[in-house]
């Protein structure tokens, strides 16, 4: 787990001249890899690397040079992530091709696999990764991101070359070198206010984009980047014929999870685990305990009753026999930390849960260097409560189209906050119209009153149309999951997981997002995902013998953060101050925002998520556009090895 940076210039002299700028850009992502900082130049190509040493601590330095006998140092690699099946791949490469290795890490395996298998090697990698390989013989770059988008990769192209990096802020540092002038992307801003994140491949700055999840790419110096999707998730449920098939499904799920956790525990440093009150993190911690009897689990909570899973997590930790560390977060701590957190994010993500995640990651880094976590379980096994909506809206599907549209018109006349309004509104819509992910911040009618640059041509369909086309013949829950894999998971869940842990030089691993686990999860029938009483039904049954009984059927809390209350109380003056000082009048109707804050304070409406989205954007704008907000960026001060 590290930070990579690549700069491909028109000429060798241009690359040499750019190296001082590249050094400054590397410094922006020092938190991703405080153990080593190295650069390498080969002709017009310059690679830089910040290393967080996890495997093969004494070797596996990057940028890494490798080549087969007679072509030594043909390839140069910059790689962020972990390959969990590198031991098996290494053995196969040696047996089949006589491949030679000089380290005991996973980095060499990627390059050797590419040499012998070509671009198809990417599909053999079991892990999380973003990498780029310079082939000095063919004089071209090849690279890829992992199937689910666990690790980030930004890029920008201009007259001065192409830059690729784990952090957008590093590319911003290279804007003059590239000859680009990144400005606010107003289309991306509207997407952010609809979804609470900027969907891939966009970023909030023009000229800077992201390589999408499950995608490989190639380019030659002076040419354009050519991308190719090598992985498209497909849900194809099994046909179940009776109890024996059901029992087999549950066993397959448990076996896949146990194998994935075993491989995710491979490290030459101490591995811990995050632990909430839910089944996802609990089963990961319980399985990790089988490999590390001294496992430490980390939980965060809040100084407000009803918004903490600490007690349940503590009970789970005691039941599975792991050490337990708790970090409680206050409103004052959140307000103080948000500007620094926003700097680490690169683009705003209006998910309040990322703030306590930053705090618990900082606490965990005092004890371990790697943590396991439960991200991805909901998307793979049907864990979100909204996945049950097709059951509740099933009666509407029998209503003729004209009548459904009339119901929608009726819903617009019902005052906000009246019970049944939203059910009627959503029942009048098709799945493609109503579902665009777990977070729906501003509807069009709400956005028009706030966003001065509002455009009716910018909608959630920009992000969801393709996943819906790919899943047209699937059941509705599988279609919702498919949309979430391309939107919510990689736009929110994995961004906050990567950014908040790497901000603290902590590697986070997600065993649910493993292609062997997905292979089984994709076969779970709809009725084994959701019922009228619960979600993740098959997963709950599969792990019933692994985790404590009190967790199995517990209602999902979704990591609640008490901003609804805090924005009425402790955070109210802070929110007003952010809005009043923000220089975003050309983009946002600040009077409308202030009115929204006041209406929320008096209890007329719950605007907390919309207010939070606007505050996060205004803070981001104050840092990256105005330069008015200047967080003090700490130097990583951790032991090199734990």
Same domain, 505 and 577: no
Same domain, 618 and 547: no
Rounded CA-CA distance 34/504 in Å is 10
Same domain, 587 and 572: yes
Q: Is residue 230 part of a domain?
A: no
Report the relative pairing of strands 154-158 and 140-145 from DSSP bridges: unpaired
Residue 641: predicted pLDDT: 42
| Strand residue runs (E) in 11-55 | 36-42, 45-51
Q: Is residue 588 part of a domain?
A: yes
Torsion from C-alpha of 254, 543, 351, 450, nearest 10 degrees: 100
Using an 8 Å Cβ cutoff, are 39 and 76 in contact?
no
Using an 8 Å Cβ cutoff, are 613 and 192 in contact?
yes
Rounded CA-CA distance 368/533 in Å is 38
Query: Would you put residue 20 in left (φ > 0), alpha (ψ -120 to 50) or beta?
Result: alpha
Tokens at residue 588, please? 């946002």
pLDDT tens, position by position, 430-467: 899 999 988 789 989 899 999 999 999 999 999 999 99
CB atoms within 10 A of CB 66: 25
Residue-range definition of the domain harbouring residue 106? 2-219
How far CA 502 is from CA of 1, 167, 256, 365, 444, in Å, comes to 8, 11, 27, 10, 35
Using an 8 Å Cβ cutoff, are 207 and 156 in contact?
yes
Nearest residue to 19 (alpha-carbon basis) of 36, 40, 2, 4: 40
Using an 8 Å Cβ cutoff, are 8 and 44 in contact?
yes
DSSP 427-443: HTS-HHHH-S-S-----
DSSP 371-440: EE--TTHHHHHT--GGGGHHHHTGGGGGS-HHHHHHHHHHHHHSPTT-TTHHHHHHHTS-HHHH-S-S--
Report the relative pairing of strands 45-51 and 64-66 from DSSP bridges: unpaired
End residue of a domain, out of 532, 552, 572 = 552
Q: Is residue 181 part of a domain?
A: yes
Q: Is residue 506 part of a domain?
A: yes
Tokens at residue 156, please? 């920008």
Q: 417-440: buried (b, 16+ CB within 10 Å) or exposed (e) per residue? A: eeeebeebbbbbbebbebbbbbbe
Percent composition of the chain: helix, strand, coil (DSSP 3-state, to 5):
45, 15, 40
How far CA 555 is from CA of 123, 384, 534, in Å, comes to 36, 11, 8
Same domain, 533 and 569: no
End residue of a domain, out of 530, 552, 574 = 552
Tokens at residue 176, please? 């003059």
Tokens at residue 486, please? 């391309």
Same domain, 41 and 183: yes
Our CA angle for 354, 360, 366, nearest 5°, is 140
Query: Residue 199 half-sphere exposure, CB side, CA atoms within 13 Å?
Result: 24
Report the relative pairing of strands 296-302 and 271-274 from DSSP bridges: parallel
Our CA angle for 129, 130, 134, nearest 5°, is 125
Number of structural domains (the chain) is 4
Q: Is residue 229 part of a domain?
A: no
Q: Is residue 522 part of a domain?
A: yes
Same domain, 202 and 89: yes
Catalytic residues: 2
Using an 8 Å Cβ cutoff, are 523 and 236 in contact?
yes
Report the first-to-last Cα separation within the chain, whole angstroms: 15
Q: Is residue 557 part of a domain?
A: no
Same domain, 272 and 377: yes
Exposed / middle / buried, residue 533 (Cβ in 10 Å: 0-12, 13-18, 19+): exposed
Same domain, 13 and 158: yes
Same domain, 151 and 126: yes
Our CA angle for 69, 70, 75, nearest 5°, is 80
Rounded CA-CA distance 472/82 in Å is 34
Question: Looking at the DSSP assignment, which residues form a beta bridge with residue 158?
Answer: 161
Residue 640: predicted pLDDT: 40
Helix (H) or strand (E) holding 230, with range, is none
Rounded CA-CA distance 378/551 in Å is 15
Q: Which residue has the tokens 């864990």?
A: 383
CATH code for the domain in which residue 92 is found: 3.60.20.10
Q: Which residues of the chain have pLDDT under 50?
A: 640-642
Same domain, 286 and 164: no
End residue of a domain, out of 219, 235, 268 = 219
Q: Is residue 641 part of a domain?
A: no
Tokens at residue 511, please? 């065993």
Tokens at residue 463, please? 């992000």
Using an 8 Å Cβ cutoff, are 105 and 86 in contact?
yes
Same domain, 172 and 94: yes
Same domain, 375 and 396: no
Residue 553: predicted pLDDT: 76
């Amino acid at each position: 787990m590290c930070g990579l940076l690549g700069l491909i210039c028109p000429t060798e002299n241009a690359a040499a001249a750019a190296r001082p700028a590249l050094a400054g850009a590397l410094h922006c992502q020092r938190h991703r890899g405080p153990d080593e900082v190295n650069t390498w130049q080969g002709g017009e190509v310059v690679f830089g690397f910040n290393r967080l040493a996890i495997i093969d601590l004494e070797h596996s330095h990057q940028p890494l040079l490798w080549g087969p006998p007679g072509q030594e140092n043909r390839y140069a690699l910059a790689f962020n992530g972990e390959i969990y099946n590198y031991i098996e791949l290494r053995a196969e490469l040696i047996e089949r091709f006589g491949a030679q290795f000089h380290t005991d890490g996973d980095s060499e395996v990627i390059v050797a696999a590419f040499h012998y298998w070509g671009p198809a090697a990417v599909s053999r990698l079991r892990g999380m990764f973003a990498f780029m390989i310079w082939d000095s013989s063919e004089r071209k770059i090849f690279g890829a991101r992992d199937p689910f988008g666990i690790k980030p990769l930004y890029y920008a192209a201009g007259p001065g070359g192409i830059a690729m990096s784990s952090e957008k802020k590093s590319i911003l540092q290279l804007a003059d070198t590239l000859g680009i002038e990144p400005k606010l992307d107003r289309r991306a801003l509207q997407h952010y206010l609809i979804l609470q994140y900027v969907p891939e491949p966009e970023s909030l700055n023009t000229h800077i984009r992201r390589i999408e999840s499950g995608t490989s790419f190639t380019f030659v110096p002076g040419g354009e980047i050519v991308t190719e999707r090598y992985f498209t998730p497909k849900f194809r449920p099994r046909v179940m014929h009776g109890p024996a098939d059901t029992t087999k499904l549950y066993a397959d799920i448990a076996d896949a999870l146990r194998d994935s956790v075993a491989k995710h525990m491979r490290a030459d440093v101490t591995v811990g685990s995050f632990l909430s009150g839910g089944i996802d993190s609990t089963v990961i911690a319980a399985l990790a305990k089988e490999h590390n009897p001294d496992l430490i689990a980390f939980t965060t909570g809040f100084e407000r009753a009803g918004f903490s899973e600490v007690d349940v997590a503590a009970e789970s930790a005691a039941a599975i026999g792991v050490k337990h560390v708790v970090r409680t977060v206050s409103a004052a701590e959140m307000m103080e930390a948000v500007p620094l957190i926003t700097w680490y994010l690169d683009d705003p993500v209006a998910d309040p849960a990322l703030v306590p995640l930053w705090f618990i990651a900082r606490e965990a880094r005092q004890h371990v260097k790697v943590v396991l976590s439960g991200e991805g379980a909901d998307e793979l096994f049907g864990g979100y409560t909204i996945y049950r909506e097709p059951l509740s809206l099933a009666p509407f599907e029998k209503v003729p189209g004209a009548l459904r549209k009339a119901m929608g018109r009726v819903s617009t006349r019902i005052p906000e906050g009246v019970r049944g309004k939203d059910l009627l509104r959503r029942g009048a819509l098709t799945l493609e119209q109503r579902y665009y992910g777990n977070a729906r911040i501003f509807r069009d009618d709400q956005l028009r009153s706030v966003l001065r640059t509002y455009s009716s041509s910018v909608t959630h369909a920009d992000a969801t149309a393709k996943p819906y086309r790919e899943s047209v013949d699937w059941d509705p829950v599988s279609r919702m999951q498919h949309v979430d894999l391309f939107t919510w998971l990689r736009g929110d869940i994995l961004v906050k997981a990567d950014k908040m842990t790497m901000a603290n030089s902590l590697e986070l691993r997600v065993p649910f997002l493993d292609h062997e686990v997905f292979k089984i999860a994709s076969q779970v029938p709809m009725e084994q995902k959701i019922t009228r009483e619960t979600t993740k039904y098959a997963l709950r049954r599969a792990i019933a013998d692994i985790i404590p009984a009190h967790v199995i059927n517990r209602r999902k809390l979704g990591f609640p953060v008490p901003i609804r209350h805090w924005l009425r109380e402790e955070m109210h003056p802070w929110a007003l101050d952010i809005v009043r000082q923000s220089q975003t009048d050309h983009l946002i109707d600040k009077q409308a925002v202030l009115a929204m804050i006041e209406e929320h304070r008096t209890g007329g409406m719950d605007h907390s998520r919309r207010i939070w989205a606007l505050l996060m954007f205004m803070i981001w704008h104050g840092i990256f556009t105005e330069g008015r907000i200047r967080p003090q960026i700490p130097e990583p001060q951790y032991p090199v090895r734990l």
